[in-house]
Amino acid sequence: MKKASFLILLFLVVFFLEGIFNNAQAQSGWVRDKKSAYLQLSYSYFASDNFYNLSGNKLTTNTFSQHSIHFYGEYGLLDRLTIIASVPLFRANQFKNTDSAIGVGDLMLQLKYALLKGKFPLAIIIAPEFPTAKADNFATNKESIFVDRINLPTGDGEFNLWTMLAVSHSFGDVPLYISAHAGYNFRTKYQEEEFNDQVRYGLELGYNIAQKLTLNTHLNGFATVGNQPLTGDFIRSNGTSYNSYSIGAFYKLTEKLRLTGQVQGYFDGLNERKNLYSAPVFTLGLAWEKK
């Protein structure tokens, strides 16, 4: 049983890796003012033994867990142009019966340009993601004598190019806002393995309480499009789909410091869960903002 279980893991590893690699911060139609900045450092934890394979069937495997420290930063280059950087500075991936595979993640840079300002700001985002992480990062199996190690990379090994549109609206005297976005990812390949492109879309709703606490919630969708065979190295997440939700909060500690927190989960909606480890993701962070 141990051999069979570990072989399943070897071939059915991990949507969640890809979900963290390719999911940037939630998008909005607003851009930053010139020379203003926002920096955030956050810690995330995830653990699950519930895997949904490429057919959408739920499997129980050894528990997979991940610890991650993530940097996210925005800077207003011009009144209509913001540059954004996002990268996992540290990631530790492991199964219950392996040691940890440790490394940095892939770097995503975004150029966000305001097409429209005013009551309904609209922005276009061009976001290349560079393969700065280890695309092959092996962890030692501590139990099986048949499979001595498993690949748990901290990056997908390929160059990606996301193109997104985002629109927002603030409801005047009511401290409420809403944002929506949609994007398309042009994927390339890792070594000789080519990948299908991906689409994502989402909706965010936020409410500010007493100018100190902002609560928000997100609904997101993610799907694979294209005709490449959904076979081979599932670590690269070819064939992934899901819908997710999250509940988050930002608390204003001082004029510049913010405490942030978020819980994210997955559900079956327009997209069935496929190629996905499904369980809550917990995130806690500290942010600094200069206006």
Query: In this structure, what CATH number is given to the domain that contains residue 163?
Result: 2.40.128.130
Number of domains in the chain: 1
Nearest to 177 by CA among 97, 223, 228, 121: 121
Q: Confidence band (pLDDT; 50, 70, 90) for 4?
A: very low
Residues 6+ apart with CB under 8 A from 269: 221, 243
pLDDT at 131: 93
Helix H or strand E encompassing 243: strand 242-252
18-53 burial code (b ≥16 CB/10 A, e <16): bbbbbbbebbbbbbbeeeebbbbebebebbbebbbb
Residue entry with tokens 């510049």: 256
Spatial contact of 140 and 148, defined as CB atoms under 8 Å apart: yes
Distances (CA, A) of 230 to 194, 211, 268, 269: 10, 48, 20, 21
pLDDT one-digit tens code per residue, 241-279: 999 999 999 999 999 999 999 999 999 889 999 988 899
The least confident of 4-13, 23-32, 162-171 is: 4-13
How far is residue 21's CA from residue 146's CA, in Å, rounded to a whole number?
Answer: 30
How far is residue 233's CA from residue 229's CA, in Å, rounded to a whole number?
Answer: 11
Q: Confidence band (pLDDT; 50, 70, 90) for 146?
A: low
Q: Residue 284 has which token pair?
A: 């806690």
Q: Residue 85 has which token pair?
A: 């950087």
Q: Confidence band (pLDDT; 50, 70, 90) for 235?
A: low
Backbone phi and psi for residue 118, each to the nearest 5 degrees, phi listed first? 100, -145
pLDDT one-digit tens code per residue, 90-131: 999 998 988 999 999 999 999 999 999 999 999 999 999 999
Which residues form the domain of 160? 2-290
* Bridge partner list, 235: none
How far is residue 230's CA from residue 117's CA, in Å, rounded to a whole number?
Answer: 42
pLDDT at 141: 86
pLDDT one-digit tens code per residue, 37-95: 999 999 999 999 999 988 889 999 889 999 999 999 999 999 999 999 999 999 999 98
How far is residue 169's CA from residue 118's CA, in Å, rounded to a whole number?
Answer: 9
In sequence order, what DSSP letters do the residues of 143-155 get, joined into one string?
Answer: S-SS--EEE--SS
Residues 6+ apart with CB under 8 A from 226: 195, 196, 197
pTM over 0.85: yes
Q: How many CA atoms lie within 13 A of 138 on its CB side?
A: 7
Residue entry with tokens 């280890």: 134
> Average model confidence (pLDDT) for the chain?
87
pLDDT of 233 higher than 70: no
Residues in the chain: 291
